Amino acid sequence: MSSGFDSRLINSAIHQIEIQHKEVKENFGLAVISTMIPYALHGEDPVVPLYINDYVRQLQKELDKGVPVFQDLIRRHLWDN
pLDDT tens track for 1-57: 456 678 888 889 988 988 887 777 888 888 889 989 999 999 999 999 889 889 999
Task: Give the span between the Cα atoms of 39 and 61, in whole angstroms.
Answer: 26
Contacts of 46 by beta carbon, 8 Å cutoff, 6+ apart = 36, 37, 39, 40
Predicted pLDDT of residue 37: 95
pLDDT at 66: 87
Residue 66 sits at φ, ψ, to 5 deg, of: 90, 15
The confidence score (pLDDT) of residue 1 equals 46
Do 59 and 15 contact (CB within 8 A), yes or no? Answer: no
